[in-house]
Amino acid sequence: MQPTLSVIIPAYNVEHYLDDCLESVVKQNNGKLEIVLVDDGSKDSTWDICCRYAEKYDYISAFTKPNEGQSSARNLGLEKATGQYVFFMDSDDSLTDGAIEKLFKKIEDEQNEVVIFLYKRLEDATGEISDCGYQLDEAQVENLTGEALLQYLITGRVYDWYPWLLVVRRSYLLARNLFFQKGVTFEDARWTPAVILHAAKVSYLDFPVYIYRSNRVGSTTSTFSEKNFISKIGVLSFIEAFSEENHFSKETKEKLFANVANLYVSTLFDVWFLEKSKRKQYLESLKKYKFILAESARTYHHLLYKLWSIAGITPVSYLLYLRALWVQKKK
């Protein structure tokens, strides 16, 4: 019998977290799900853990591949999955109790292409758990589609584009060729808006299904690299092209940019981690997106916009860099 849901879990060097992740799903198995594990060339015992679970449970399959990044691992999981719907989990995160039961009821009752839901945030250093910080209106989500739905999600809030905030019909992803772009970080901000935009109908589950482990030491996006920096700029370029390609209004385009304001601010201080010869070039390329700070819903970003207007981009980005160093030292 075809599983209703495939839980796809890419894994890389997560030997300390993978058991907890898997147990949070396994204990909720209702006989209608499968788990697809993809080891992305780990150097620790991650693959051994994958094999152990695959041997113990017949609804778990495990695959390994050379290290090419999370996008590549997710894509392989999508190719191997057999469920009607797919759900991408990160291997250091977990599900809340009762999540699978509620997801299945929503899927089976409404049969829509996409289900979106809420999450909780677990601070890795302290163990503190908090809500995601926003609520959605079920009627609004389920009565809107396309650009109108995107605009609702990003109006007055920072909506998170994490792929684990969606359960998606597998045939819809395959028909639309909605795979993850390989070789980049922050791929979420490229994939999720496209999935929501093209869906004929989206359901909303007003329940925190997922527990996201925040600020994990050693995670791909928690440390600086020039590749990450370029990927962040790539997200801004993608939003620009995505907006043009889909003929979005000026308002929708600006709100999409404003939704990634935190990512934009991080590029401003990341510049100072680059080689000196490259800083001026990248600062110039970032100037065109200054309006993001003005469009953001956060007062902090408005203050940065005003300071920039008075002092210019270089002093503002350097102050952000000093602040980042201070925060890093406090940790």
Mean pLDDT of 48-52: 98
Whether the pLDDT of residue 223 is over 60: the answer is no
Which one-letter amino acid corresponds to residue 320? L
Mean pLDDT of 135-149: 94
Which tokens in the block code for residue 303?
């203050």
d(CA 192, CA 183): 17
pLDDT at 219: 54
Domain boundaries, the chain: 5-214, 226-330
Q: pLDDT-derived band of residue 328, with 50, 70 and 90 as boundaries?
A: confident
pLDDT at 218: 54
d(CA 246, CA 253): 10
Residue 98 gets the label, from left (phi > 0), alpha (psi -120 to 50) or beta, of: left
Which class is 5-214 in CATH?
Answer: alpha beta
Average pLDDT, the chain: 91
DSSP 3-state of 184: coil
pLDDT at 39: 98
d(CA 166, CA 183): 22
Distances (CA, A) of 311 to 104, 273, 294: 54, 21, 16
Whether the pLDDT of residue 263 is over 70: the answer is yes
Q: At what angle do helices 276-287 and 313-330 cross, to 10 degrees?
A: 110
User: Phi, psi (5° rounding) for residue 225?
Assistant: -150, 155
Alpha-helical regions (H) of the chain: 18-26, 46-56, 70-80, 99-110, 138-143, 146-153, 170-175, 188-198, 226-245, 250-259, 261-270, 276-287, 291-295, 299-311, 313-330
Mean pLDDT of 274-297: 88
pLDDT at 202: 96
Q: Say if residue 201 is exposed, middle or buried (CB neighbours under 10 Å; 0-12, 13-18, 19+).
A: middle
CB 173 within 8 A of CB 195: yes
Give 327's contacts (C-beta < 8 A, 6+ positions apart): none
- pLDDT tens digits, 89-101: 999 999 999 999 9
Report strand pairing: 166-169 vs 85-88.
antiparallel
Adjacent-strand bridge partners of 115: 167, 203
Mean pLDDT of 237-261: 88
Q: pLDDT-derived band of residue 207, with 50, 70 and 90 as boundaries?
A: very high
Mean pLDDT of 227-241: 86
d(CA 148, CA 271): 35
d(CA 98, CA 27): 10
Give 209's contacts (C-beta < 8 A, 6+ positions apart): 95, 96, 99, 102, 103, 117, 118, 119
pLDDT at 160: 87
Cα 42–Cα 43–Cα 49 angle in degrees, nearest 5: 60
